[in-house]
Amino acid sequence: MPRHKTDLSAESYDYDDDYEEDDGMTEDDRRQMKAALKQVRQTIGGDIPGVTDADIEETLWYYYFDVEKAVSYILKKHTKASKPKPAPKPKQVVVAGPAPKKDDVGQGFGYGFGARTAVEAGYFLDAPWGNVPTERLGCLIEQLPPVKMGLVGGSGGPKTSKLAALAKARKEKKLAEASGAAEPTGGKPLGVTKERPSISLLSRLSHKSSASSVASTSPSPTPEPSAGRVTPILTTNTNINDKDKTPIGSPKRLQDLDQPRSPVVEEEKCDLKAFKEDLALKAVPSSFATSMFGSRLEFEARFLWADTKTFDILTGKEAAKVQQGFSGPSPDDVVETAQKGMGGAKAKADKNGQADGKGSRDSGAKTAPSPPPSPKLPKAKIDVLKAYGESSEKDHVNFVVVGHVDAGKSTLMGRILYDTGAVDERTLQKFRKEAEQIGKGSFALAWVLDQTHEERSRGVTVDVAVNKFETEKTVFTILDAPGHKDFVPNMIAGAARADFAILVIDASTGAFEAGFHLRGQTKEHTLLIRSMGVHRVIVAVNKLDSVGWDGARFEEIKQQMAQFLSNAGFNEKDIAFVPCSGLEGINVIKKPEEGVIPWYTGPTLLEELDITTKYARPVDKPLRLTVSDIFKGGAQNQPTVYGRIDSGYLQEGDVLLSVPNKEQVTVKSIVINDEPRPWAVAGHNVNLQISGFDELHLRAGDLLCHPTSPLQPLKCFQLKLLAFETLTPMAVDIHRGHLHAPGRISGLLQTYDKSNGTVTKKKPRHVAAGNLASVMVELVAGAAIPVEAGMKIVLRSNGQTVAAGIIEK
Ligand SMILES: Nc1nc2c(ncn2[C@@H]2O[C@H](COP(=O)(O)OP(=O)(O)OP(=O)(O)O)[C@@H](O)[C@H]2O)c(=O)[nH]1
């Protein structure tokens, strides 16, 4: 019972019994009690008769060991008690603690009142507390003066109550524990805000990189040469907050998409970030879910018409055949064709002396509009195209991992990273232990990628996690996208940077069906990656262990998915199916033991990844680098930009122009996969240390280009799109990678025949789901965004993807 519920004036209270048996005192309390008792005794002397130690202790207990108050009370009480007067009434009374429950009346509530009956105590149950007559009050204390802050027992400093002191001690203990808990992650506190530069991303990065810093600092065991081709993975996540470490590290999290396009990056402090994440996680499900669910049927409708031809038209593959509005191929095709002829284009460039970017126009230009003028770099120190053509570096390939929620994406990627040596045994053991502690032992591998508290406690990926590993031929960057429908924008950001995709299917009973039909993300993700220009997909038929490696199940899934992928515009030659179990590590890196999958003789998942032919890169196009992250790091706390070069190239010392804010920055150094490099080309994920840069004016989603071939940001553009839902002039969210801006479809220009691309209707009133159309899109609030003709855009509305297309002009 709280002490304030006792009544010191209650004569009938037999404290000796209770006190001895269960006084609720800690060792510390007893020590203080002893010292305080001694002080009180010294102060009041032995003059006052009838004051026992028990009296004093009770008073001290009541006053939280405040000697002064205890002495005052005892003197007052016992001086008055010697006179034949009634016990002093409190000057002012307040109710302490909550009103008693009805059931308590006469029991706990009567504590200390002896003679009070249930009936008496119940008098004021329904009485307003402010008007309760004093004689009716059952649980009242004298109002204490405001507590002075200070140490109990007096140390010369200001005083505080014991409760406050205890609370303080508890808080300190918690803090000490928290800092202690951070030690194993590399000795750096998580979620530090003070030491951090004022970029919101850092909060998340610290989470992300903390665990991986363990991996990077702990000795990496020599990886088994499994599959004979896997080389040890490079360190993946570097804690960018750790200024003592590598100057620049690969950021692990893509910047929050929910940030408004306010330039005030500094105001996005870590707490605010955490708050936003929290808010995102707690987003009201009803409207969102309702809209998602409600329109799911409509969403399904688009698969009725979706066929390869439609996609070919949209992405320009049928451009030569299509008349109006389809006279040119998509950028993908331009690039593809260019690269075919580049066998090389690079070698030719050397011969023709066009390696400085002046020449070497792609052969695909025969169907493409005339290319923009080549960039003229000011005094290039290195002939980058020549250097690139001569270099024997591994290909750098990004792949996005998509699929329905809980399909096992993170676990599968964790398995790849673990089996290839990027994550050592010790780190995984730690994850296992921590995961088991919260009853999520099976998520240990997923925790290699899911590193934020929210992701781990919910068992759901929220943001795209970036990691990398390499084989003998290729450096792979994994973009592990969230499967949950609430985080589709994050998934789009991942897909925008991907060369190909791994589509993970949960083969366990009922799960494939759940992910594939009605509410699942399998279809939506597939369609989105296709819309974002991904041509190749590896379908990892996962969790086959849960169905006893049933070959029939694999075949069933393969058949349905093959049909669907073909309808969604993927060519048969670009689709591969691999049976596997990420959790058990079967057929991921290691070949299955004999007899486990007798019906399968194909490659493992890693072997299938490695089949990837060298990707053609538009290196001779104007530089376009999409910014994914901005952070500070390194010994000098230099601002660093992380992003992928979509086209063109750059080198150290280059002056770049940021769009839309038109700020000029100088490239001080370039880091690719933790290695400093003098130049970088399209396809590289780079960390650029830059100077002459105002943090306020650059953010994720922005674009860097050379001032000689600038990108003109657009406030309004014409989009040729594929409608996933019925479109009218309406509000939409415009997505391109990390770019996320509010806009509206301001006009419907024309619809096209899906079979041949001819115009079917001008100025339609609406565009039905499944139709091709050209529409005008405007930015709300007049803000221009860094997009240009040829870029792929996704439109969403009410949390749902409503269309995807290519900017025409
Ligand atoms: N039986 C079995 N279970 C698996 C396998 N792979 C993953 N799981 C389990 O499936 C659950 C979800 O795994 P995750 O890796 O978090 O799934 P995810 O697709 O990344 O989830 P989101 O990113 O949130 O969509 C976990 O309990 C895993 O242990 C597998 O191969 N076999």
For 618-658, write each residue's pLDDT tens digit: 888 999 998 888 887 666 677 888 888 989 999 988 999 98
* Highest mean pLDDT of the ranges 280-289, 441-450, 486-495, 765-774: 765-774
CA of 130 to the centre of ligand 1 (A): 59
CA of 424 to the centre of ligand 1 (A): 20
> For residue 805, what pLDDT band results from cuts at 50, 70 and 90?
confident
Atom of ligand 1 nearest to the CA of 482: 23
Q: What is the pLDDT of residue 348?
A: 31
CA of 214 to the centre of ligand 1 (A): 23
Report DSSP letters for 632-672, one per residue.
EETTTTEEEEEEEEEESEEETT-EEEEETT--EEEEEEEEE
> For residue 475, what pLDDT band results from cuts at 50, 70 and 90?
confident
CA of 742 to the centre of ligand 1 (A): 34
- Give the mean model confidence (pLDDT) for residues 175-185: 50
CA of 506 to the centre of ligand 1 (A): 8
Write the residue with the smallest CA distance to atom 30 of ligand 1.
Answer: 543
Residue bearing the bigger pLDDT, 547 or 212 = 547
Least confident residue range of 29-43, 166-180, 378-392, 699-713: 166-180
Residue bearing the bigger pLDDT, 797 or 429 = 797
Task: Return phi, psi of residue 128, to 5°.
Answer: -65, 135
Residue 506 near residue 522, CB atoms below 8 Å = no
Give CA 349 to chain center in angstroms.
43
CA of 447 to the centre of ligand 1 (A): 11
Ligand 1 neighbours by CB, cut-off 6 Å: 403, 405-411, 442-443, 446, 459-461, 482-484, 542-543, 545-546, 581-583
Write the residue with the smallest CA distance to atom 24 of ligand 1.
Answer: 460
CA of 437 to the centre of ligand 1 (A): 18
pLDDT at 283 over 90: no
Atom of ligand 1 nearest to the CA of 449: 20
Strand partners, 466: 479
CA of 602 to the centre of ligand 1 (A): 23
Q: What is the pLDDT of residue 576?
A: 94
Write the residue with the smallest CA distance to atom 23 of ligand 1.
Answer: 461
For residues 255 and 627, what is the distance between their CA atoms, to the nearest angstrom? 10
Atom of ligand 1 nearest to the CA of 483: 25
For 659-676, write each residue's pLDDT tens digit: 888 888 889 889 887 788
Question: Which residue among 442, 503, 542, 581 is best mutated to probe the pocket of ligand 1, counting the most ligand atoms within 8 A of its Cβ?
Answer: 442
Write the residue with the smallest CA distance to atom 13 of ligand 1.
Answer: 408
Q: What is the pLDDT of residue 454?
A: 60
pLDDT at 544 over 90: yes
Q: What is the pLDDT of residue 644?
A: 87
Q: Which fold has domain 393-612?
A: Rossmann fold (3.40.50)
Q: What is the pLDDT of residue 683?
A: 87
Strand partners, 118: none
For 561-582, write each residue's pLDDT tens digit: 998 888 887 889 899 999 999 9
Residue 665 near residue 692, CB atoms below 8 Å = yes
For residues 534 and 423, what is the distance between their CA atoms, to the nearest angstrom? 28
Question: Which residues fall within 8 angstroms of residue 490, CB to CB, at 6 or more apart?
Answer: 254, 257, 462, 463, 464, 481, 482
The CATH architecture one would assign to domain 716-807 is: Beta Barrel (2.40)
Kindly state the DSSP code that residue 261 receives in the 8-state scheme.
S
pLDDT at 541 over 90: yes
Write the residue with the smallest CA distance to atom 2 of ligand 1.
Answer: 543
Q: What angle do CA 329, 333, 339 make, to 5 degrees?
A: 140
**What would you measure as the largest C-alpha separation in the chain, in angstroms?**
119
Q: What is the pLDDT of residue 552?
A: 93
* Highest mean pLDDT of the ranges 256-270, 321-335, 367-381, 689-703: 689-703
Write the residue with the smallest CA distance to atom 29 of ligand 1.
Answer: 442
Rg for the chain (alpha carbons), in Å?
A: 35
Residue bearing the bigger pLDDT, 422 or 752 = 752
For 83-124, write each residue's pLDDT tens digit: 544 444 444 433 333 333 333 333 333 333 333 333 344 443
Atom of ligand 1 nearest to the CA of 458: 24
Instruction: Examine domains 624-705 and 716-807 and report if their fold is the same.
Output: yes
Q: What is the pLDDT of residue 57?
A: 86
Write the residue with the smallest CA distance to atom 9 of ligand 1.
Answer: 408
For 373-425, write each residue's pLDDT tens digit: 444 444 557 888 888 888 877 888 888 888 888 888 888 988 898 888 877 77
Question: Which residue among 438, 445, 550, 583 is best mutated to probe the pocket of ligand 1, counting the most ligand atoms within 8 A of its Cβ?
Answer: 583
Residue bearing the bigger pLDDT, 330 or 658 = 658
pTM of the model: 0.52
Give CA 769 to chain center in angstroms.
31
For residues 217 and 650, what is the distance between their CA atoms, to the nearest angstrom? 31
Reported ipTM exceeds the 0.85 cut: yes
Dihedral angle sign, alpha carbons of residues 84, 88, 89, 92: positive
Q: What is the pLDDT of residue 177?
A: 63
Least confident residue range of 172-181, 238-247, 274-283: 238-247
Write the residue with the smallest CA distance to atom 14 of ligand 1.
Answer: 408
CA of 253 to the centre of ligand 1 (A): 20
Q: How far apart are the first and last CA of the chain?
A: 75
Atom of ligand 1 nearest to the CA of 481: 23
Write the residue with the smallest CA distance to atom 10 of ligand 1.
Answer: 408
* Highest mean pLDDT of the ranges 63-72, 128-137, 516-525: 63-72
Task: Return phi, psi of residue 546, to 5°.
Answer: -75, -15
CA of 451 to the centre of ligand 1 (A): 15
CA of 405 to the centre of ligand 1 (A): 8
Atom of ligand 1 nearest to the CA of 582: 31
- Give the mean model confidence (pLDDT) for residues 720-725: 85
For 485-521, write each residue's pLDDT tens digit: 666 667 776 777 788 899 999 999 888 887 777 566 7
CA of 404 to the centre of ligand 1 (A): 10
- Give the mean model confidence (pLDDT) for residues 546-564: 92
Atom of ligand 1 nearest to the CA of 542: 31
Q: What is the pLDDT of residue 205?
A: 30
CA of 581 to the centre of ligand 1 (A): 10
pLDDT at 362 over 50: no
Question: Which residues fall within 8 angstroms of residue 757, CB to CB, at 6 or more apart?
Answer: 313, 318, 321, 322, 323, 324, 325, 326, 772
Q: 3-state SS string over 70-90?
A: HHHHHHHHHHHHHCCCCCCCC
Strands 649-651, 655-659: parallel, antiparallel or unpaired by DSSP?
unpaired
CA of 605 to the centre of ligand 1 (A): 16
pLDDT at 78 over 80: no
Atom of ligand 1 nearest to the CA of 521: 25
Q: What is the pLDDT of residue 94?
A: 38
Q: What is the pLDDT of residue 460?
A: 57
Domain spans of the chain, in order of start: 393-612, 624-705, 716-807
Residue bearing the bigger pLDDT, 359 or 399 = 399
CA of 410 to the centre of ligand 1 (A): 7
Write the residue with the smallest CA distance to atom 7 of ligand 1.
Answer: 408
Peptide bond between residue 184 and the one before it cis (omega within 30 degrees of 0): no
Residue 507 near residue 542, CB atoms below 8 Å = yes
Q: What is the pLDDT of residue 358?
A: 29
Name the token pair of 319.
Answer: 């451009």
For 580-627, write each residue's pLDDT tens digit: 999 999 999 988 888 889 999 899 999 998 886 677 788 889 999 988
> For residue 8, what pLDDT band results from cuts at 50, 70 and 90?
very low
Name the token pair of 490.
Answer: 């994050």
For 197-254, write each residue's pLDDT tens digit: 333 332 333 333 333 333 333 333 333 333 333 333 333 333 323 333 333 333 333 3
Write the residue with the smallest CA distance to atom 8 of ligand 1.
Answer: 408
Q: What is the pLDDT of residue 343?
A: 34
Atom of ligand 1 nearest to the CA of 445: 15
pLDDT at 5 over 70: no
Atom of ligand 1 nearest to the CA of 584: 31
For residues 418 and 416, what is the distance between their CA atoms, to the nearest angstrom? 5
Least confident residue range of 151-155, 190-194, 639-643: 190-194
CA of 560 to the centre of ligand 1 (A): 22
For residues 538 and 503, what is the distance between their CA atoms, to the nearest angstrom? 6
Q: What is the pLDDT of residue 625?
A: 92
CA of 383 to the centre of ligand 1 (A): 47
Residue bearing the bigger pLDDT, 13 or 700 = 700
Least confident residue range of 134-138, 235-239, 748-752, 771-775: 235-239
Atom of ligand 1 nearest to the CA of 581: 31
Least confident residue range of 89-103, 441-455, 509-523, 794-808: 89-103
CA of 489 to the centre of ligand 1 (A): 21
Strand partners, 475: 396, 470
CA of 550 to the centre of ligand 1 (A): 19
Beta strands in 173-216 (DSSP E): none
pLDDT at 324 over 60: no
* Highest mean pLDDT of the ranges 206-220, 329-343, 537-551, 783-797: 537-551
CB burial readout 525-557, b (16+ within 10 A) else e: bbbbbbbbbbbbbbbbbbbbbbbebeeebbeeb
> For residue 738, what pLDDT band results from cuts at 50, 70 and 90?
confident
How much of the chain exceeds pLDDT 70, in percent?
53
Question: Which residue among 404, 411, 543 is best mutated to probe the pocket of ligand 1, counting the most ligand atoms within 8 A of its Cβ?
Answer: 411
* Highest mean pLDDT of the ranges 51-60, 360-369, 571-580: 571-580
Write the residue with the smallest CA distance to atom 6 of ligand 1.
Answer: 408
Domain covering 624-705 in this structure, CATH number: 2.40.30.10
Atom of ligand 1 nearest to the CA of 403: 19
CA of 209 to the centre of ligand 1 (A): 22
Residue 699 near residue 639, CB atoms below 8 Å = no
pLDDT at 310 over 80: no
Write the residue with the smallest CA distance to atom 12 of ligand 1.
Answer: 406
For residues 727 and 803, what is the distance between their CA atoms, to the nearest angstrom? 8
